[in-house]
Amino acid sequence: MTTLPSRLRFGPDGLRRLDVASRSLAGIVGGYALAAVAAMFLALALPMPRAEAVYTATMMSFAIHAGAFVWAFSVRTRRVWPGLLGPTLLLGGGTWLLHGLQSGAPS
Amino acid sequence: MKDGFRQSMAWLHSWSGLLLGWLLFAVFLTGTIAYFRQEVTVWMQPELHGSIPDAGTAERAVERMSQLAPDAAQWTIALPGERSPAVSVSWRPADAKPNDRAALKRATLDAGTGAVLEPRETAGGNFLYRFHFELYGMPREIARWIVGIATMAMLVAIVSGIITHRRIFKDLFTFRPEKAALRSWMDGHVAAAVLALPFHLMITYSGLLLFMTMLMPWAVDLAYDGNRQAYFAESGFRRAPPPPRPAPQAAPLTPVAPLLAEADRRWADRGGVGSLTVTNPGRANATIELRPAESDSIGRGAATERLLFDGVTGRAQEVPAADPQPAAMATGNYLMGLHLARFAGPGMRWLFFVSGVAGTVMVGSGLIFWVVKRRSQRGRADTWGNGPEPFGHRLADRLNIGVVAGLPLAVAAYFWANRLLPAGLGERAGWEIEVFFLAWAAALLHAPLRPSRRGWAEQLWAGAALFALLPVLNLATAPGHLGNSLPAGNWLLAGFDLTALAVGLLLGFAARKVGRNAFAGKTVPAPVLPAGAVVEEPT
């Protein structure tokens, strides 16, 4: 048996599987959520005509997802979820603010 | 610390690559063939092989259209060229809506005589093209999501693979085919990946972009309150304005020969005139629009130069200038245009094809490496998994056989079905596809029933024979065989036969290697890794 990569090693086998499952979920679902919220934020924030901002933001979102996915497998376990959810919430808040401002009626 | 990171990346690379690797292999293989989908379709319609274009082809086609569809609102005539020997025509009946593509009537004309040809019913290269992003027999949207997810896994595998093999250019010049199985598979995988790395990155990212509104609709839906049509309209993805209504007065169409001569001079370096569109033929407000055979711009949807003429007087008219694309859309369309390669002339098309083959080899060798590595970890004598083998390794190996060796076999079977099924068979196109899936299913079922090495050898030999004999099948069933196509310089048909022969020889070479067990006994007990190559993963 080979040794496990140190950052993926997490105690006994069961815990390691849990760790891998958690990182995979973070990469797939968390990474997609971050990419989706980043796309929405950039679509409102980029200083371009609306269609171009939407297009640019959507185009960039795939790189963000892939980057988040790889990142979820490269850091220590305890940093994975906070590191993905934090920016997602921040960007979500920013999107909410911008959307409210641009709609003219902050709710 | 550094090594821990790269080991994590190696782990991510091997698993993201493995889990969707079989699907990715199929997508790469069929997508690569799709670069020649028109040529494949022509090969699969021998009834078109006798069509030989000459200087009068376009005029004859216009003449024929005035008999076939005198009252149509619009004719579109695609002239023969390097990718098709026959004339493809379509027309929109006067009572059909301008954007209703289903209402279009189609026909194929002999380029030499103008006669209507009745080619056999086949999905041709289009089936392989559609399969590479919509699979088959399932709702289109679901299939596109599945392929989209696999494409994202591919992007993750590429990024983590680059990190794993950060000294890629050093590794590139490391090929040791005579060394242990493990190393040569690794070297082959890295070579196929690095040689065409820009292509792999482009094809993967642009593959995601082609589905971007489906995969990532959130920005559009937020900024446009869910009104995607408004977004498409603002993005410049506008539909062509409907053509003017036919004028009540009849008027004869101007002779097309002088217009074509002028356009052919202008577009000498772009294959001459590729297609004609005649709007309101036979009416006083008829127009004739000409387009070149090869676009001068790579970007998808980018405006191609056209020439517009009054259809009665033959005088040139001004072409309304297309709006330039904004930078963002131009960037995306450039990438998607590269993916589709519709702009590519023959040389460029071959380059894309070869890059696609490299991608297919990259995915296939990566899948095989996953198994070979685990076998070498179990011991030097078990290169072929003859000893007890964990179920997961056995499953991966048999899937590898059924996909990496079985899919080429199924593609060859599809071509054989095209010639062996009776030309007049009902639902013929569907039967050809049926044969493709039956052959693939047979390969997937055969693999677990045989010892690993036998399974590989038998399926590779079967694929080799089916491909290498395709030129013979063509000789027996169609006029466009090598004996005629080579002397005539017909590279469209000769290209298919010669490529099939080359694929057959390559598969035969692989089968012979497997059969002679070239790698057996040479497996090093503990792989000595080249500097920089991380192949350690947990099992």
Q: Count how many pairs of residues, chain A against chain B, have C-beta atoms within 8 Å.
A: 122
Q: Least CA distance to A20: which residue of chain B?
A: B12
Residues of B in contact with A63 (CB under 8 A): 205
Predicted confidence at residue B173, as pLDDT, reads: 61
Token reading at A97: 């603010």
Q: What phi, psi does B174 have (nearest 5°)?
A: -110, 95
B10-14, B182-186, B414-418, B435-439: least confident range: B182-186
Give the CB-side neighbour count of residue B365, counting CA atoms within 13 A: 20
Average pLDDT over residues B42-56: 93
B526 to chain A, any CB pair closer than 8 A? The answer is no
> Range of B226's domain?
212-237+326-340
Query: Any residues with CB less than 8 A from the CB of B533 and at least 6 apart, and which?
Result: B165, B167, B171, B186, B190
CB B153 within 8 A of CB B20: yes
Q: Least CA distance to A17: which residue of chain B?
A: B538
Mean pLDDT rounded to a whole number for chain B: 88
- Percent of chain B at pLDDT > 90 equals 66
Residues B485, B445: Cα–Cα separation, whole Å: 38
Partner-chain contact A52 B329, CB within 8 Å: yes
Judged by DSSP in three states, B311 sits in coil
A40 to chain B, any CB pair closer than 8 A? The answer is yes
Query: Any residues with CB less than 8 A from the CB of B391 and at least 6 apart, and which?
Result: none
Domain match, B402 and B493 both: yes
Residues of B in contact with A5 (CB under 8 A): 4, 7-8, 10-11, 536-538
Most A CBs within 10 Å, among B218, B333, B336, to test the A interface: B218
Predicted confidence at residue B237, as pLDDT, reads: 66
Domain match, B160 and B64 both: no
Partner-chain contact B538 A2, CB within 8 Å: yes
Average pLDDT over residues B93-120: 89
A26 to chain B, any CB pair closer than 8 A? The answer is no
Average pLDDT over residues B123-135: 97
B295-299, B397-401, B465-469, B482-486: least confident range: B295-299
Domain match, B363 and B506 both: no
Domain match, B161 and B21 both: yes
Q: ∠ CA B268-B273-B275 to the nearest 5 degrees? A: 160
B150-159, B364-373, B510-519: least confident range: B510-519
Most A CBs within 10 Å, among B222, B229, B234, to test the A interface: B222
Predicted confidence at residue B293, as pLDDT, reads: 87
Partner-chain contact A57 B8, CB within 8 Å: no
Condensed to tens digits (0 to 9), the pLDDT of residues B329-385 reads 999 999 999 999 988 888 899 999 999 999 999 999 999 999 988 888 877 667 787
Helix H or strand E segment including B336: helix B327-340
Predicted confidence at residue B98, as pLDDT, reads: 76
Most A CBs within 10 Å, among B5, B11, B12, to test the A interface: B12
Residues B43, B499: Cα–Cα separation, whole Å: 12
Q: How far off is chain A from B190, nearest CA to CA, in Å?
A: 20
Domain match, B349 and B335 both: no
Q: Answer yes or no: is pLDDT of B134 > 60.
A: yes
Domain match, B333 and B377 both: no
Residues B480, B46: Cα–Cα separation, whole Å: 7
Residues B189, B186: Cα–Cα separation, whole Å: 5
Predicted confidence at residue B238, as pLDDT, reads: 62
B156 to chain A, any CB pair closer than 8 A? The answer is yes
Predicted confidence at residue B502, as pLDDT, reads: 97
Q: How far off is chain B from A28, nearest CA to CA, in Å?
A: 9
Domain match, B247 and B106 both: yes
pLDDT band at B322 (very low <50, low <70, confident <90, very high): confident
Domain match, B334 and B454 both: no
CB B149 within 8 A of CB B143: no
Q: How far off is chain B from A8, nearest CA to CA, in Å?
A: 7
Average pLDDT over residues B475-494: 92
Partner-chain contact A51 B5, CB within 8 Å: no
Condensed to tens digits (0 to 9), the pLDDT of residues A15-59 reads 888 888 999 999 999 999 999 999 999 999 999 999 999 999 999
Q: Answer yes or no: is pLDDT of B31 > 80.
A: yes
- Percent of chain B at pLDDT > 70 equals 91
Task: Indicate the residue of A65, A73, A95 with minimum beta-carbon distance to B152.
Answer: A65
Residues of B in contact with A42 (CB under 8 A): 219
Domain match, B260 and B300 both: yes
Give the other-Cβ count within 10 Å of B398's Cβ: 21
Residues A27, A29: Cα–Cα separation, whole Å: 6
Domain match, B335 and B349 both: no
Predicted confidence at residue B190, as pLDDT, reads: 86
- Please provide the distance, in angstroms rounded to a whole number, between the alpha carbons at the two ends of chain A: 58
Q: Answer yes or no: is pLDDT of B1 > 70.
A: no
Total number of domains constituting chain B: 4
Q: Answer yes or no: is pLDDT of B303 > 70.
A: no
Residues of A in contact with B231 (CB under 8 A): 51, 54
Helix H or strand E segment including B78: strand B74-78
> Is the interface score ipTM higher than 0.85?
yes
B491 to chain A, any CB pair closer than 8 A? The answer is no
Residues of A in contact with B210 (CB under 8 A): none
pLDDT band at B527 (very low <50, low <70, confident <90, very high): very low
CB under 8 A, 24+ apart: contacts of B382-389? B383/B181, B383/B517, B383/B519, B383/B520, B383/B521, B383/B523, B384/B451, B384/B452, B384/B453, B384/B517, B384/B520, B385/B452, B386/B451, B386/B452, B386/B453
Q: Which carries the bigger pLDDT value, residue B531 or residue B272?
A: B272
pLDDT band at B525 (very low <50, low <70, confident <90, very high): very low
Residues of B in contact with A73 (CB under 8 A): 8-9, 11-12, 160
Domain match, B415 and B495 both: yes
Closest CA to B159 of B365, B21, B32, B17: B17
Q: Answer yes or no: is pLDDT of A106 > 60.
A: no
A4 to chain B, any CB pair closer than 8 A? The answer is yes
Average pLDDT over residues B434-451: 97
Domain match, B141 and B252 both: no
